[in-house]
Structure 1
Amino acid sequence: MSSSSESRVPDVGASDYLRSILAPVHQDEAASVMLTLAVPAGVLNGRAVHPAVWLRRMAAEIRSRPGPPEGKDPVARIFETHAARRDDGDLPTGALMSSIHHAYLADATLTPSGVDPTSKRGTLWQVALADVSAWTIGEPA
């Protein structure tokens, strides 16, 4: 029988360990770490990078797509503006840890669950940590 005085372990989608791994990446644009994440769509692996690096690469990706520049440039500039505003390097550790809600993956590969095992390559993925059910450092062998 349970009582209201019993302590309960809260449900956590992504552990503080994962945030600890991501913290140095969020502090230094030159830092990155290879991660494999289990998410509802499947298994995703790629290099976790600083959010500003990811945003600038997203802008470059948008500009590299076919089509007239006048349609792509305004969208790309949105990502560049957000990248310029990112400066997590001076945040105290506690504030930095509580501010990390996403992993920003570059050069990522998704192996979908529930379909053929063909991997889907995508250059950039933003993953909500709340959606991560399991993770490891490195990539699958």
Structure 2
Amino acid sequence: MSEHGAAPPAVDAYLEILLRLIDAQPEASLTICLTTPGGIVAGSLVGSRMWADRWETTVSAATGAQDRADHMAHLAHTVRSALKQTGPDTGDGLHSFIHLVDVTFLSVPGTTTAPLWRGRLADVSGWSLGAPADRPAS
């Protein structure tokens, strides 16, 4: 129990195994749909390193000016170094976050996509392998 009396979220052993497999193979990805409080998110599940590489690229492309891009790349490197020292997982060896690339948000009107998505694993209430019927597989 936490200090507020609520039980900690249950660990989904199957999803944790998938996260470990993906992290163990840096170039691996797996098409997945997640149910979260914000709606359904579909994309390619990737390891934290691949996601961080894509994040650096996306941030650098978004900043435009070369000096600002260099500053943002340095920031991304600093974040990555901090994660290496502390680890992206919880103290008990379990993942805290789940990382997707080439994301489609299925619960909002219209077609909404994003290059990256990072969510708290505790907020995932359900998941399925594969892409929804109206989203082509990656």
TM-score normalised per structure 2: 0.74
Contact 1:36 1:135 (8 Å CA) reproduced:
yes
**Shift of residue 23 of structure 1?**
0.8
* Aligned partner of residue 29 in structure 1, secondary structure: coil
Q: Identity across aligned pairs (percent)?
A: 25
Q: Does 1:17 align with 2:14?
A: yes
Q: Does 1:130 align with 2:122?
A: yes
Where do residues 70-109 of structure 1 align in structure 2 (5 Å cutoff)? Answer: 70-83=67-80, 98-109=93-104
1:37 to 28, 34, 38: 34
Greater relative contact order structure (CA < 8 Å, 6+ sep): 1
Contact 1:46 1:108 (8 Å CA) reproduced:
yes
- Aligned partner of 2:47 in structure 1 is 50
Q: Does 1:120 align with 2:112?
A: yes
**Shift of residue 24 of structure 1?**
0.8
C-alpha root-mean-square deviation of aligned residues, in Å? 2.5
TM-score normalised per structure 1: 0.73
Contact 2:40 2:105 (8 Å CA) reproduced:
yes
Q: Distance in 1 between matches of 2:48 and 2:38?
A: 22
Q: Distance in 2 between matches of 1:17 and 1:97?
A: 17
Unpaired runs of at least 5, structure 2: 1-6, 85-89, 134-138
Unpaired runs of at least 5, structure 1: 1-9, 88-94
**Shift of residue 49 of structure 1?**
1.0
Contact 2:44 2:103 (8 Å CA) reproduced:
yes
* Aligned partner of residue 98 in structure 1, secondary structure: coil
